[in-house]
């Protein structure tokens, strides 16, 4: 019998994974935060995946965090700031050999989750797949990408990667997942906050070349100081390439602010500034950017953490 995938977090990536796993005939359960959400989900009849304009619904069974069924494999697909509390809500259900796949942005939440459930194997994931929700329990697959997975503590790849192949989820196991996570964090720090403050699409940052270059220089120093030289390599050209390639897109942080949602600032800019302080590395422009962003968020009535 294949192991059941429990998916906690019905956002865009969680729904994207759950529908593709279900489409491949694999057992999937959606874990919802309370009875009210579960009833709303059941009334909708399942999760809907919209791909190339075609919508198809998958009746993935739902349950609440306090359901009795043990969890052996958990895809944690919630926001970074919700990750620790989310895993705590199902910690009592985790089997002795439980494995968690962590799909959070930035850095910091992975360690918090691992400390909360020390008996579980925690696998970090970094995804470039594009998806957005256009309604409750619906996800639009917007852009094909890739998911890198890895576990710095146990570099041996798990056998369930076969499930991802069956579900047509492009992926690669890497012994160097921290490099991927740091690189993505640096890209996000150089792009996302500026799109919020300048109120622009990613392409609008082409008019703020000097500001981007200054941030890239500080981020490169930080990555090298953290022992991540590979993540630091050619950072500025990569940031400029991403800005150009995604010129017509709004960054995820811009979208969060536009929809009045809390941002993941603490796990992106906040984490970078905290690590720089730990290493006694001055990053005045990153720190100033963080303060400007916090002020902007507070003025909008949004949390600055």
Which residues belong to the active site?
Answer: 184
In our burial notation (b when 16+ CB lie closer than 10 A, e otherwise), range 140-164 reads bbeeeeebbbbbeeeeeebebeebb
| Sheet containing 147-150, strands listed edge to edge, beginning at the edge strand earlier in sequence | 62-64, 28-32, 5-8, 71-76, 94-102, 121-127, 147-150, 171-173
The three-state (H, E, C) secondary structure of 87-115, written as one string: HHHHHHHEEEEEEEEECCCCCCHHHHHHH
CA–CA separation, 88 vs 140, rounded Å? 29
CA–CA separation, 175 vs 171, rounded Å? 13
Residue 254, C-beta contacts closer than 8 angstroms, at least 6 positions apart: 192, 195, 196, 201
CA neighbours closer than 13 Å in the CB half-sphere of residue 262: 11
């Amino acid at each position: 019998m294949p192991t059941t995938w429990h998916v906690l977090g019905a956002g865009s990536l969680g729904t994207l994974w759950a529908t593709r796993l279900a489409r491949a005939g694999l057992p999937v359960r959606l874990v919802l935060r309370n009875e009210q959400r579960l009833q709303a989900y059941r009334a909708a009849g399942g999760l809907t995946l919209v791909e190339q304009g075609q919508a198809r619904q998958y009746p993935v069974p739902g349950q609440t965090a306090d359901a009795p069924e043990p969890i052996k494999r958990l895809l944690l697909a919630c926001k970074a700031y919700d990750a620790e509390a989310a895993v705590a809500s199902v910690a009592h259900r985790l089997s002795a050999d439980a494995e968690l796949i962590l799909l959070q942005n930035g850095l910091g939440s992975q360690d918090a989750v691992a400390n909360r459930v020390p008996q579980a194997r925690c696998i970090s994931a970094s995804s470039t797949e594009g998806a957005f929700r256009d309604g409750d329990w619906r996800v639009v697959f917007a852009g094909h990408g890739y998911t890198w997975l890895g576990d710095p503590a146990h570099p041996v790849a798990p056998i369930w990667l076969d499930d991802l192949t069956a579900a047509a989820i492009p992926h690669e196991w890497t012994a160097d997942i921290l490099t991927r996570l740091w690189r993505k964090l640096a890209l996000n720090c150089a792009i996302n906050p500026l799109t919020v403050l300048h109120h622009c699409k990613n392409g609008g940052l082409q008019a703020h070349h000097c500001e981007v270059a200054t941030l890239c220089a500080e981020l490169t120093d930080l990555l090298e100081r953290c022992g991540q030289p590979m993540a630091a390599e050619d950072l500025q050209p990569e940031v400029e390439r991403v800005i150009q390639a995604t010129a017509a897109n709004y960054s995820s942080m811009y979208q969060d602010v536009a929809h009045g949602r809390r941002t993941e600032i603490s796990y992106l800019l906040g984490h970078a500034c905290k690590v720089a302080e730990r290493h006694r590395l001055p990053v005045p422009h990153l720190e100033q950017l963080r303060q400007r962003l916090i002020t902007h968020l507070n003025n909008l009535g949004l949390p600055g953490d």
